[in-house]
Structures are given as structure tokens and as C-alpha cells.
Amino acid sequence: MAIGKDLSAAPTTRPDGVAPAKPGVSPPPRTPSATEAPAVELQRVSRLYGSFVALREISLQLAPGSSVVMLGENGAGKSTLLKVIAGLQSPTYGEVRIFGESPRDLRGAVAYMSHATMLYDELTGMENLTYFAGLQSSGPQFKGSARSNRSRRARLRDHAAQALTEVGLDPANPRRVGEYSQGMRQRASLARVLLSEPDLLLLDEPFSNLDVGSAHSMITRLLTYLAQPSPSGPARTLLLTTHQAELARPLAQSILTLSAGRLISLQETLPVKTTADEPAQRESVQ
């Protein structure tokens, strides 16, 4: 199965004449060029755990710019499929290509958000995000004089502060992440995975245990992510799993359904408006 929608509308008028996305409305699709490699390509992918078959010969293509919501009952294989696409697990059989390459060769272009937030409870949100921003820019090209290192630390802090602000969290909040509400932890986790500005974003149950307001704030941030052009070229692509199909509808260009490890359907949907068009509200210490 293949899907060919794209969400690469930019905040200003683009050379191809596509209008910019409006807040809270799914950006219009564009037809990918014939030379673009699929953002995700699976060829008869199966994943076995001993005698248990988690994925059964799944073949799938998602074009750059696709925004797909994956549905299925518990045990359908949704989380396993995300991990295989992310390169965190290898398929037992079959082949996975991300933008024409092996997932392991494109780690910087792919971000995966699991049930676990992967944050340090003893650190504040700002300390966590600054640390992860540093990990993503720890190569030798960032080493230099003491003055340049001070400048680098300032840039990392600015980058972390912006990421937190964009998900509705206050960078100056002194609370440790271990004291955050579930909604705040989920927002901070989303800020972490968006730090690298990935071309492919994989989210596993991002709305789990969130109240409606927190979920809408996350949806607003994801719509903004999809509407912004990627610095590396390919249109940004989103694949997320959820049990809350109606909540995720503003993000769904198409609905992918799994059952017992098999791909049952991949159906395009009509764009819908969302009430999540207000800026995310910051959560801070009362």
C-alpha cells in the first residue's frame, strides 16, 4: 500500500505557489516528484519473537510529507512497527528503507517518542533539554576556544528554551521533571524529540493519559512541525499510534489499521479543522 500526500507548506509564500498552512488546519497536500524516495518503504517486513509473529509481511510506502495515524487493538503490532521503522529493531524478514536509506544510516533524520519520556526526573525541564541539545551537537566541529564554548552553551540554552516554549512549557520553571504532571512530562518529551528537527517523526501513543487541553496543545505543536519546511530538504513526515482516533483526526491525512500484525488498510481522510488553534498555555509553578 502507498500514500502520496505531503504537508510541506511553508510559513510564507513558497516558490511553487502553495499557500501557507493556517493555524489549526491540516496543510494542503502536494504531489511528490517522481524522483523523491519514499519517506518510509517496507517490503514484506515480518518481525518474530521466538514463535510469536508480531508483524506479518507488511508492505507499505509513505511519501515525504505524509501524516498518518495508525490504529489497532492492543497487541496488533503498532509499537513494533514503529521500532522497526526507527531502526531500533531489525525485521526478521523483509527490508526497511527511510528516504531510500537504511534506518541505521539516518539516525539524525528520524526521531522516536515512546511511552517512556526518556527524561531525567532529577533535572528541570530546561536542564534536560539543554543536555539533550548538547548531545546532538557534540561533534568535533563544535569544539573550540573557551570563548566559543561559552557561546556554544548559550546557543544550546536558547535552543532548549525555544523547544520548551513551543510545547507550552516555561523554561524558567524550577520544578524537576519528576514533579511534573503527566501532561507536562509528555510535552517535555515531545520537545526533546523535536530538538533535532527530524524529517521523520514517530510517536507511540503521544496522547496517553493527557487531558483534552494538553492533547490539543500537542496537536497544535505537531501541526506547526508539519507545516515548516525541513532544513535538509524532504517534507516532514509523521506516523503516530493512538487509541484516540477522533482526537488525532486533525493530524490524519490517512488512517493505517493493523490487526494481529497484518496491515489491514490504509485509507485517506478528509482534512478537518481543530479547536487547537490557540497558542499552547505555559504550565508553571503555582
> Contact 85/198 with Cβ under 8 angstroms?
no
Please list the alpha-helical segments (H only) found in the chain. 78-86, 125-135, 146-166, 182-194, 212-227
Report the percent of the chain where pLDDT is more than 90. 59
Residue 188 belongs to a domain: no
Residue 100 — pLDDT band, cuts 50, 70, 90?
very high
Domains in the chain, number: 1
Residue 149 — pLDDT band, cuts 50, 70, 90?
low
DSSP state of 273: B
Residue 133 belongs to a domain: no
Residue 237 — pLDDT band, cuts 50, 70, 90?
very high
Residue 279 belongs to a domain: no
> Contact 165/141 with Cβ under 8 angstroms?
no
Give me the mean pLDDT over the 90-113 stretch: 91
Least confident of 122-126, 172-176, 266-270: 266-270
Residue 35 belongs to a domain: yes
Which amino acid makes up residue 215?
Answer: A
pLDDT at 150 over 60: yes
Residue 190, all three cell numbers: 515531545
Residue 190 belongs to a domain: no
CATH number reported for the structural domain that contains residue 12 in this entry: 3.40.50.300
Q: What is the CA radius of gyration of the chain?
A: 19
Give me the mean pLDDT over the 151-170 stretch: 92
The confidence score (pLDDT) of residue 69 equals: 97
* Global confidence as pTM: 0.79
pLDDT tens-digit readout, 14-55:
333 333 344 344 444 444 444 579 999 999 999 999 999 999
Residue 107 belongs to a domain: yes
Residue 207 belongs to a domain: yes
Which amino acid makes up residue 216?
Answer: H
Residue 152 belongs to a domain: no
Domain hosting residue 114, numbered range: 2-118+198-226+233-268
Residue 35, all three cell numbers: 524522483
